[in-house]
Amino acid sequence: MRISSAAFLLLSACSAPAASGPEPTRALSTKSATRCAMLDGGAPVSGTWEAITPPQVNLAAAGFGVKAFVIDPNDSATVYLGTHAQGIYKSSDCGSTWSHVNTGVNGSQLDSGRNWSMVIDPTDSSIYTCAGYGPSGVWKSTNGGVDWTQILTSNITSVAPYHGFIEWIAMDPSDPTHLIVTFHGPCSPPAPSACMAESKDSGATWNITGHPMFRSDKDGVYILSGATWLYGSWIGGRHGGIWRTTDGGASWTQVSTAGASASFYHSPVTGHLFVGGGGGMQESADDGVTWTLTPHMRTFSVTGSGTKLFASDGMCLASPLTPFEPYFSASETSPKWSSLASPLMTSGGLFLKYNTDQGLLYSSNCRGGFWRAWSP
């Protein structure tokens, strides 16, 4: 069913190389584009929003509803969606129908935690996720989310909080075998209290690496390329904000004191970096060396379509808010942010991703559910 942005009121509660350029755009997949364009007899008109939460997911259950998600770069009609203790869901038709996919080896482990960080390998569609407040470690599936293996090695689990309590998973856009995870808590000796884990072989082996001293919820690392990374800390100030390393975490420089999320976006159009935070939207034109702030614009996730930028408010709470429109948009070439028309929601947009094949913006809104907008 199509739902217009003017007529719907939601009642349910509640990661580019420094030198070689931003995240690449991918060629149109004719197969997936055709499959999604035929939904409901054809693509809806521009700006149409649809609630597409898997019907198996109970948004009224205890917790935070739907969480992280990824689009398969090898078949962009395929979407994987994580939840709070309700497992992983897969759609092969841009979110129109869903299956509870983690039914094989260790599948039950993914049903017992919060899947709040997820990445996918563009070379073979392997999925990596965590299950916060559930089983520790990094979980990997190589067969479309059916079977899962915990891949964090003992040298990491022996010093990581709760044997690998993951906050964020990052994948190098120039080398998908290169992964970094940050932790939801301090590490134990002999590792430094502020530590991260890095793998350069798709998670087969891991080593401890450096980390800025400050840590809070919503923090995480973004890999520009190789040894050049950015670290976003939601809490701003002298110890928070944005930090940058060019030597793989051996040393860090604070490049912004404004709080930032870990959800960085590297525009393939301008090469500029964007990141949201509690204090506003930040933009960098020099690979994260310097940043400008658009204040008084609380945001969390940023994505782009090639012509437009989209940002989410990030108000993802256990209790419903007064219904509001949780999104912002701007031109990708000259960003001047304004509110984006959408259904009123009681839980702000958390993660955003844009599917350029179909012109679809996806939004994960915790207890507000999972949504898609056609060419917003």
Task: Return all residues near 222 (Cβ < 8 A) that are at least 6 apart.
Answer: 15, 170, 229, 230, 231, 232, 262, 264, 275
What are all long-range contacts of 327-333, with beta carbons under 8 Å and residues at least 24 apart? 327/352, 327/363, 328/281, 328/297, 328/299, 329/376, 331/307, 332/267, 332/269, 332/270, 332/304, 332/305, 332/306, 332/307, 332/308, 333/269, 333/270
Average pLDDT of the chain, as a whole number: 87
What would the pLDDT profile of 231-283 be if each residue is shown by its tens digit? 999 888 888 899 999 999 999 999 999 999 999 999 999 999 999 998 899 99
Query: 249 in a domain, yes or no?
Result: no
Q: How far apart are CA 178 and CA 114, in angstroms?
A: 24
What would the pLDDT profile of 352-361 be if each residue is shown by its tens digit? 999 998 899 9
Q: Which of 38-47, 199-208, 229-238, 242-251 has the lowest mean pLDDT?
A: 38-47
Query: 209 in a domain, yes or no?
Result: no
Mean pLDDT score, 128-152: 95
pLDDT of res. 318: 65
Q: How far apart are CA 216 and CA 194, in angstroms?
A: 11
Query: 78 in a domain, yes or no?
Result: no
Mean pLDDT score, 307-314: 93
Secondary structure (3-state) at 52: coil
Query: 299 in a domain, yes or no?
Result: yes
Q: How far from chain centre, in Å, is Cα 254?
A: 23
Q: How far apart are CA 155 and CA 197, in angstroms?
A: 10
What would the pLDDT profile of 325-348 be if each residue is shown by its tens digit? 999 999 999 889 999 999 999 888
Q: Quote the tokens at residue 181.
A: 């995870």
The answer to whether residues 167 and 219 touch, using CB atoms and an 8 Å cutoff, is yes
Task: Name residue, tokens 């040393």.
Answer: 251
pTM: 0.89
Characterize 212-239 residue by residue with b for buried, 16 or more Cβ atoms within 10 angstroms of its Cβ, and e for exposed. bebbeebbbbbbbbbbbbbbbbbbbeee
Which of 297 and 213 is assigned the larger pLDDT? 297
Which of 234 and 199 is assigned the larger pLDDT? 199
pLDDT of res. 341: 94
pLDDT of res. 46: 83
For residue 229, list its beta bridge partners: 223, 245
Is the pLDDT assigned to residue 143 strictly greater than 90? yes
pLDDT of res. 216: 63
Is the pLDDT assigned to residue 45 strictly greater than 70? yes
Query: 290 in a domain, yes or no?
Result: yes
Query: Domain range holding 36?
Result: 1-51+263-376
Is the pLDDT assigned to residue 27 strictly greater than 70? no
Is the pLDDT assigned to residue 51 strictly greater than 90? yes
Q: How far from chain centre, in Å, is Cα 88?
A: 15
Is the pLDDT assigned to residue 4 strictly greater than 80? no
Mean pLDDT score, 150-173: 95
Task: Name residue, tokens 């940002």.
Answer: 311
Q: How far apart are CA 272 and CA 206, in angstroms?
A: 31
pLDDT of res. 38: 53
Omega within 30 of 0 (cis) for the link into 161: no
For residue 9, list its beta bridge partners: 344
Is the pLDDT assigned to residue 218 strictly greater than 90? no
Is the pLDDT assigned to residue 33 strictly greater than 60? no
In the chain, the percentage of residues whose pLDDT exceeds 70 is 87
Q: What is the sign, positive or negative, of the torsion defined by CA atoms of 181, 119, 339, 53?
A: negative
The domain tally of the chain equals 1
Residue 307 has a CB neighbour count (10 Å cut-off) of 9
The answer to whether residues 122 and 74 touch, using CB atoms and an 8 Å cutoff, is yes
Which strand (E) or helix (H) includes residue 31? Answer: helix 30-37
pLDDT of res. 37: 58
pLDDT of res. 338: 94
Query: 173 in a domain, yes or no?
Result: no
Of 28-42, 143-157, 207-221, highest mean pLDDT = 143-157
Per-residue pLDDT band at 122 (split at 50, 70, 90): very high
